[in-house]
C-alpha cells in the first residue's frame, strides 16, 4: 500500500496526464493507482475529473481550444476505462436511470461529456441524447425509458429560455420525474424559477444532486 503522500503524487500525475492529453500515460497511471490501493472513485474524481476541471479553466482563459478539449477528454476516458469496473455503487452514489442532453439551439457539450463521465463512474444507466436536442425528444425518451432523472444543460442564455417549457412537458409526461439543470448561465435561483428540482454547478455536484432526487422519489 502506498503512503498518503505517494497517493497524492499519483493523483497529481493522473490530473496532469489529462491536462497534457496523454492518452497512453493516463491508463498506465490508473493501473498503477489500482495496484497501490488507491480508491478508484477517488482516482476518478480527484485525478481524472480534477484534470478536466483544469482543462475547463484553460478553455475559459482561451489557452486551450476545442481540439485540446477533445484530446483531454480522450485521455480522461482512457483512464476511466481502467477505473470504472472497480467502482462500486454505495450509499453516496445512488444508481438510477438518467436522461441527459443539451437543449435545442445549443451545441456546447463539453460540460455534459464530463457530467456523463461522472454518472457512468457512479453506476447510473445513461440515455445521452447529445446536443441541440429538440424538446419533444426529451419527452419521447422519458416515455420510452421511464427514467428517474432528466438532466438538461444549456451554455447559452438564449437556449436556456427553452427550459421552463420542456420542464413542464416532462412533468406532464411523468409527474414525479426528477429534473436537474446545469450550465454556465444558470443559477440555483433560476433553476427554481424554471421549476427544476435541482441545480448542479459542476459534474461532481450533479451526481450528488441526482442521487438526492432519486432518494426523494423512493
| Structure confidence by residue, pLDDT tens digits, 175-204 | 999 999 998 889 999 999 999 999 998 776
Assign 212 to helix, strand or coil.
helix
Query: Is the pLDDT score of 91 beyond 50?
Result: no
CA dihedral 42, 44, 49, 50 (to 10 degrees): 40
Q: What is the pTM of this model?
A: 0.67
Per-residue pLDDT, 94: 46
Query: In this structure, is the dihedral angle defined by the CA atoms of residues 14, 15, 16 and 18, taken in order, positive or negative?
Result: positive
Instruction: Residues 97-217: name the CATH superfamily.
Output: Cobalamin-binding domain (3.40.50.280)
| Structure confidence by residue, pLDDT tens digits, 30-62 | 999 999 999 998 898 899 988 987 887 888 788
Beta bridge partners of residue 128, listed in sequence order: 100
Could you tell me where in the chain the CATH 1.10.1240.10 domains are found? Answer: 4-86
- Cα–Cα distance for residue pair 185/201, rounded to 1 Å: 10
Comparing CA positions, the residue from 123, 114, 121, 125 lying closest to residue 39 is 121
* Structure confidence at residue 135 as a pLDDT band (50, 70, 90): very high
Per-residue pLDDT, 15: 97
Q: What is the mean pLDDT of residues 151-164?
A: 90
Which CATH class name applies to 4-86? mainly alpha
Could you tell me where in the chain the CATH 3.40.50.280 domains are found? Answer: 97-217
Weakest-pLDDT range from 3-7, 24-28, 144-148: 3-7
Using an 8 Å Cβ cutoff, are 178 and 197 in contact?
yes
Per-residue pLDDT, 111: 77
Q: What is the mean pLDDT of residues 151-169?
A: 92
Amino acid at each position: 500500500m502506498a503512503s498518503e503522500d505517494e497517493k497524492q503524487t499519483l493523483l497529481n500525475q493522473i490530473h496532469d496526464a489529462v491536462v497534457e492529453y496523454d492518452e497512453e500515460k493516463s491508463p498506465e497511471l490508473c493501473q498503477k493507482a489500482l495496484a497501490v490501493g488507491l480508491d478508484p472513485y477517488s482516482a476518478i474524481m480527484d485525478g481524472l475529473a480534477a484534470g478536466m476541471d483544469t482543462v475547463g479553466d484553460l478553455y475559459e482563459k482561451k489557452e486551450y481550444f476545442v481540439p485540446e478539449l477533445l484530446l483531454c477528454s480522450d485521455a480522461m476516458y482512457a483512464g476511466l476505462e481502467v477505473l470504472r469496473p472497480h467502482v462500486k455503487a454505495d450509499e453516496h452514489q445512488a444508481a438510477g436511470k438518467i436522461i441527459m442532453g443539451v437543449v435545442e439551439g445549443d451545441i456546447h457539450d463539453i460540460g455534459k461529456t464530463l457530467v456523463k463521465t461522472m454518472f457512468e463512474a457512479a453506476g447510473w444507466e445513461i440515455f445521452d441524447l447529445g446536443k441541440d436536442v429538440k424538446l419533444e425528444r426529451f419527452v419521447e425518451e422519458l416515455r420510452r425509458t421511464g427514467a428517474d432523472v432528466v438532466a438538461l444543460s444549456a451554455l447559452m442564455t438564449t437556449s436556456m429560455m427553452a427550459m421552463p417549457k420542456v420542464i413542464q412537458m416532462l412533468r406532464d409526461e411523468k409527474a414525479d420525474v426528477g429534473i436537474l439543470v446545469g450550465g454556465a448561465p444558470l443559477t440555483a435561483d433560476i433553476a427554481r424559477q424554471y421549476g427544476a428540482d435541482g441545480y448542479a454547478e459542476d459534474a461532481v455536484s450533479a451526481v450528488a444532486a441526482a442521487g438526492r432526487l432519486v432518494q426523494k422519489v423512493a
